[in-house]
């Protein structure tokens, strides 16, 4: 489904990603782990062309998306959230959620999308008419995650950059439950520092250090792989 082949990424003269390749199979969950500054966000930004690549190619369902504009990559069915706050301060939570379905303009449909989001994160219920400027970091994070999780049609590929950031343990668990429910229905990439829940969800994973993939494996035995990842990144 997604094939990243030998990409390099630099900020000006400073190279951050070196010859990175990985593949994510359709219907699978792929985890990416690495310490602070390893290059995880840069790699994801490169995948959706928020940063140009120095070399390499990226194929999504055999479409070459290497240099495609980010909004066109999204329209191919890739939904992504990044670490930045990325909400519109003057829009309410409900207005954010009404953006997730290109055909949602009836009150009934908006209500359905909001209900679906609240089912995932019940904490959004009392915030539904609140402007994003008045949301805490964790509340804004739930809105961002919900916008991908309830998008219509369901994204073929979902990319989450440190989704647990700012979430309470209960909401991390709710996110985990939703990803479990989506397992096999869509393809998912999760970049995380929190190893314990991500390794349980992932079918395969990669570890990135200093901009290079230093280890990849399938998760056959969760406890065993958790130890391996910890050894590399803690």
Residues 191, 176, 92, CA angle at the centre, nearest 5°?
A: 85
- For residue 100, how many C-alpha atoms fall within 13 Å in the half-sphere facing its CB? 30
40/151 with CB nearer ligand ATP? 40
Q: Give the dihedral sign, CA 88/136/154/202.
A: positive
Report if residue 229 touches ligand ATP, rule: CB under 6 A.
Answer: no
Please report how close the Cβ of residue 180 comes to ligand ATP at its closest, in angstroms: 24
Report if residue 81 touches ligand ATP, rule: CB under 6 A.
Answer: no
127/233 with CB nearer ligand ATP? 233
39/98 with CB nearer ligand ATP? 39
Residues 101, 103, 106, CA angle at the centre, nearest 5°?
A: 100
17/93 with CB nearer ligand ATP? 17
Q: Are 148 and 81 in contact (CB under 8 A)?
A: yes
Report if residue 20 touches ligand ATP, rule: CB under 6 A.
Answer: no
Tell me how far apart the alpha carbons of residues 218 and 64 are, in angstroms, rounded to a whole number. Answer: 26
Tell me how far apart the alpha carbons of residues 81 and 64 are, in angstroms, rounded to a whole number. Answer: 21
Read off the tokens for 173.
């668990």
Read off the tokens for 95.
């207005």
- Give the largest Cα separation in the chain, rounded: 52
Report if residue 137 touches ligand ATP, rule: CB under 6 A.
Answer: no
Report if residue 16 touches ligand ATP, rule: CB under 6 A.
Answer: yes
Restricting to residues 182-201, name those near ligand ATP by CB under 6 A: 193
Per-residue contact track with ligand ATP, 27 to 66, x per CB under 6 A? -------x-xxxxxxx------------------------
Size of the site for ligand ATP (CB under 6 A): 12
Read off the tokens for 30.
């792929």
Report if residue 141 touches ligand ATP, rule: CB under 6 A.
Answer: no
Residues that bind ligand ATP (CB under 6 A): 11, 14, 16, 34, 36-42, 193
């Amino acid at each position: 489904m997604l094939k990243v082949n030998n990409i390099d990424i630099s900020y000006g003269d400073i190279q951050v990603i070196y010859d990175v390749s990985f593949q994510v199979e359709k219907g699978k969950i792929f985890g990416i782990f690495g310490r602070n500054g390893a290059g995880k966000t840069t790699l994801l930004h490169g995948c959706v062309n928020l940063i140009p690549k120095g070399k390499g190619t990226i194929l999504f369902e055999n479409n070459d998306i290497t240099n495609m504009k980010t909004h066109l990559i999204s329209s191919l069915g890739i939904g992504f959230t990044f670490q930045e706050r990325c909400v519109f301060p003057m829009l309410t939570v409900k207005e954010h959620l009404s953006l997730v379905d290109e055909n949602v303009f009836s009150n009934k449909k908006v209500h359905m999308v909001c209900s679906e989001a609240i089912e995932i994160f019940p904490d959004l219920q009392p915030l539904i008419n609140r402007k994003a400027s008045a949301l805490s970091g964790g509340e804004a994070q739930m809105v961002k995650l919900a916008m991908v999780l309830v998008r219509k049609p369901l994204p073929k590929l979902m990319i989450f950059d440190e989704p647990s950031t700012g979430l309470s343990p209960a909401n991390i668990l709710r996110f985990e439950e939703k990803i479990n429910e989506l397992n096999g229905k869509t393809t998912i990439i999760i970049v995380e520092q929190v190893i314990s829940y991500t390794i349980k969800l992932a079918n395969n994973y990669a570890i990135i250090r200093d901009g290079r993939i230093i280890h990849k494996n399938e998760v056959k035995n969760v406890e065993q792989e958790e130890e391996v990842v910890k050894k590399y990144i803690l």
